[in-house]
Amino acid sequence: MNADRKLADFDFVLTTPVGHLGVCVDGETVTAIDFLGTRRRVRPPQTPFARHVAHQLSAYFDSAGTGFDLPVALDGTAFQQRVWRALQSIPSGHTLTYGQLAQRLHTSPRAVGNACRANPVPLIVPCHRVVARSGLGGFAGRTDGPEVARKRWLLDHENPQ
């Protein structure tokens, strides 16, 4: 999540139940998704691929069981890439703790959390499905506030009781 991006940097800004999402694409690849709250104006997608991405994101918010079939550019270290691949294997409606994921990857929970924080395409790479051993844990580098409220909403959406 990059707070420095300006409206012009996004290919479109979509209204969702967790606030506006700013989405960047490069050709036919998703390169970034930022949670924007409601501080940015909605901007409709202009290209066929951007409309396809917007449709898949909207479908997810309509039904959490809907998966993503979108090419993404995951620009990060080899370790971050490994964590992000592992995140993509966590099914909707399920969670792992930072410790469980760290054990699978032979690393530390803190390293997993740092890789989750650096995730350029949340939702598509579902870092919100990683939780603390004794609770929700953080989201987007925060342990309170609107970021954690978004994580709670996403998890509740994916696992209605």
The residues carrying an active-site annotation are: 127
Per the CB < 8 A criterion, the answer to whether 84 and 61 are in contact is no
Contacts of 31 (CB under 8 A, 6+ apart): 24, 25, 72, 73, 75, 120, 121
Q: Which two tokens stand for residue 98?
A: 């930072």
Cβ 81 vs Cβ 43: under 8 Å: no
